[in-house]
Amino acid sequence: MYKTRIKKITEKLFENNIDGFVVNKPENQYYISGFSGEGLIIITGRKNYIITDSRYTEQAKNEAQGFEIIERQKGTSPFLISFHIIKDLGLKIIGFESHSLTVKEYDELVETYKNITLIKTDGFIEQLRTVKDSYEINLIKSAQKITDKAFEYILGLIKPGVSELDLVAELEFFMKKNGSKSKAFPTILVSGPRTSLPHGSPSERILQSGDFVTIDFGARFSGYCSDMTRTVVIGKPSERQLSIYNTVLNAQIKAIEYIKPGIIGKDADSVARKIISKQGFGDYFGHGLGHGVGLEIHEAPSLSPKGESHLLPGMIVTVEPGIYIEKYGGVRIEDMVVITKNGFENLTNSEKQLICL
Ligand code: ZN
Ligand code: ZN
């Protein structure tokens, strides 16, 4: 698996006349080697290297096959060491991930290695990561199974008198006990008027009857994330709550049904946006419809008004329209779907008709 991934990368490098590539982003390192510690990876047409320090040397040996592990001394710069190796190998044109090198590090490299040409890249490995193989899809399914189970569990605890923070503690503990190594991202759990905050962090607010409660959360399994949002109501929903909820639900279902290979991200967004606008809530849906999910919680492709890429089989994206009304509240419903040869498979199994607790 890693061999195939590295082969794809080296082919891409040579097409672009690049002799070697320095990988700094942890998720990209994990993707091409299985190494989950701190370090740098150098990919060349021949040998590949992991530069790390004594905290991770043994781990690197265990996790990454086919790499030469180089232990750097404390206090040395991993970038300078990497380029020292690159110089010794006689490589002249080196790609690096522009988002992960500081200006200081860049200046230092240019100054020290005058005969090496540095090529800035953006999304070089991320692009390959957008299409998941069956192994990755299964890991994301496992992460989502934990998430679905945790949602069912937390439904039993949502009631007037408990705080948002209490519920988050219970939810995250449950996920850990059920196989999630860590949460995929900081859990969003907001209630009552705070549901108007699309990315509100949990507070000490005590839940009351009549509240909307929105929970956006995910598990992490073997490095891979899941991402789901559900909004429920405590007690009997008002007419206005029902109208908002059903608009979001309808937009979400129609946007998912639209998903298949070949469509463009922004067109899926527009399916949901039109439905929400038609009901008069157009001004209250500020974010994009969805995003790719994998080793990172937000990755390409984007399903927003700016999403220009075509969807391909194996991509995993979220579909998460929402309506947020300041000082009143809001609703978001989010599922994760994998694009298949003919359409999509929904990986999220939790109920999404309005649950009244
Ligand atoms: Zn989410
Ligand atoms: Zn999301």
d(CA 318, CA 314): 13
CA of 334 to the centre of ligand 1 (A): 6
Taking the CA of 215 as reference, the closest ligand is 1
pLDDT digit string (tens) for the chain, length 357 residues:
899 999 999 999 999 999 999 999 999 999 999 999 999 999 998 899 999 999 999 999 999 999 999 999 888 888 888 888 998 999 999 999 998 888 988 998 888 888 899 999 999 999 999 999 999 999 999 999 999 999 999 999 999 999 999 999 999 999 999 999 999 999 999 999 999 999 999 999 999 999 999 999 999 999 999 999 999 999 999 999 999 999 999 999 999 999 999 999 999 999 999 999 999 999 999 999 999 999 999 999 999 999 999 999 999 999 999 999 999 999 999 999 999 999 999 999 999 999 999
Is-contact 301 317, C-beta < 8 A? yes
Is-contact 242 225, C-beta < 8 A? no
CA of 297 to the centre of ligand 2 (A): 7
Q: Which of 209, 255, 238, 249 is CA-nearest to residue 353?
A: 249
What does the domain layout of the chain look like in residue ranges? 2-129, 134-346
Q: What is the pTM of this model?
A: 0.94
CA of 29 to the centre of ligand 2 (A): 23
CA of 184 to the centre of ligand 2 (A): 10
Contacts of 145 (CB under 8 A, 6+ apart): none
Instruction: Please give the CATH architecture assigned to the domain spanning 2-129.
Output: 3-Layer(aba) Sandwich (3.40)
Taking the CA of 317 as reference, the closest ligand is 2
CATH T-level assignment (fold) for domain 134-346 = Creatine Amidinohydrolase (3.90.230)
d(CA 247, CA 274): 11
Count the Cβ atoms, other than its own, within 10 Å of residue 341.
8
At 141, phi and psi to the nearest 5? -60, -40
CA of 61 to the centre of ligand 2 (A): 34
